[in-house]
A and B are shown apart, each in its own frame.
Chain A
Amino acid sequence: MEHTKKHPGYLTYVLVWMALLVFTSITVTIAGIDLGKYTLLIAMFIAAIKSSLVINVFMHIRFEEKIFKVFLLLSGMTLLIIFVLTFSDFLFR
């Protein structure tokens, strides 16, 4: 084929899926332990790891051209700014 870009094979996807299941069981287990304020933080951290696996491998971002990563960064930053501004208003008004 004229395309030289590498596609991940079946095995890569299955491994990522297994990792996602492991992280799911970790997050469920941790939720059962009382860690006070850290519970939410850890849950969100694990959700972030799971998302990055899905985005990078399942959604092929790792194998895409640079512009897609720029897109992703821009939209992520937009969301972050909205959250930071809202909370800075909410907390310090």
Chain B
Amino acid sequence: MNNMSEAAAVHHVHRDDVGSKMGMWLFLFTEVLLFGGMFLVYAVYRFQNQEQFRLAALELNTGIGTLNTVILLTSSLTVALSIAAIQNKNKFLSIVFLNSTLLLALMFMVNKYFEWTTKFAHGIYPGSKELLEKPNGQILFYGLYYVMTGLHGLHVLIGMVILYIIKRQIKKDIITHDNYIRLENSGLYWHLVDLIWIFLFPLFYLIQ
């Protein structure tokens, strides 16, 4: 018995979950700086073109933006619940929650698809003739809209791939109730994607 717990303790020291999580947080900060640069560009251009930003934002669908906010917040909840489930040694529930997250992420992307294709159908996309006829401020608004929500959407897709891999690893017992740092770190990534959306949503969809 004693030997076993000693072996477990040694195993624990070598794994260094805290260090692993620190690495993840450092990576997240580089992500924050990546998006932070874009938010900075947005802030300056919005300050310069307040009226044009307001007019351009009226074209965006607040309903679909709100729906996607609710979807993404809920997907963050299910990731958090998935971690809680594995801590409670409930492998089945953990997988169910991760599946919910994947489903919600898919819903988010489907909404995004419809939102963007509707914009394309109205001739609003970077470099389009109709967009280039608009005042400069509106061109900037839509440029930022496509780049920022596009990069965010890319993060959602990457997050989906990561969470799918994590789900497989839980199924195969590679991730277990006493070794779930990968699930935690992937969860951190997912929450960051949610965090960025928390700011993107009012800045693009809720301008009055």
Cα of A83 to Cα of B202 in the assembled complex, Å:
19
Please report the number of residue pairs spanning A and B whose Cβ atoms sit closer than 8 angstroms: 105
Cβ 8 A contact of B199, one of A24, A47, A90: A47
Cα of A61 to Cα of B29 in the assembled complex, Å:
14
Contact yes or no, B87 A17, CB < 8 A? no
Count of interface residues, chain B, beta-carbon cutoff 8 Å: 43
User: If the complex has contacts A71-B26, A82-B40, are A47 and B202 also in contact, measured as CB distance less than 8 A?
Assistant: yes
Contact yes or no, A90 B74, CB < 8 A? no
Cα of A33 to Cα of B87 in the assembled complex, Å:
44
Contact yes or no, A54 B206, CB < 8 A? no
Contact yes or no, B36 A17, CB < 8 A? no
Contact yes or no, B22 A58, CB < 8 A? no
Interface bracket on A: 35 or more
Cα of A17 to Cα of B194 in the assembled complex, Å:
12
Most buried by B among A27, A46, A54: A54
Contact yes or no, B198 A50, CB < 8 A? yes
**Could you give 16 example pairs across A and B, Cβ below 8 Å?**
A2-B9, A7-B84, A10-B84, A32-B208, A33-B208, A43-B206, A44-B202, A54-B191, A58-B77, A64-B21, A68-B21, A71-B29, A75-B33, A79-B32, A82-B40, A90-B47
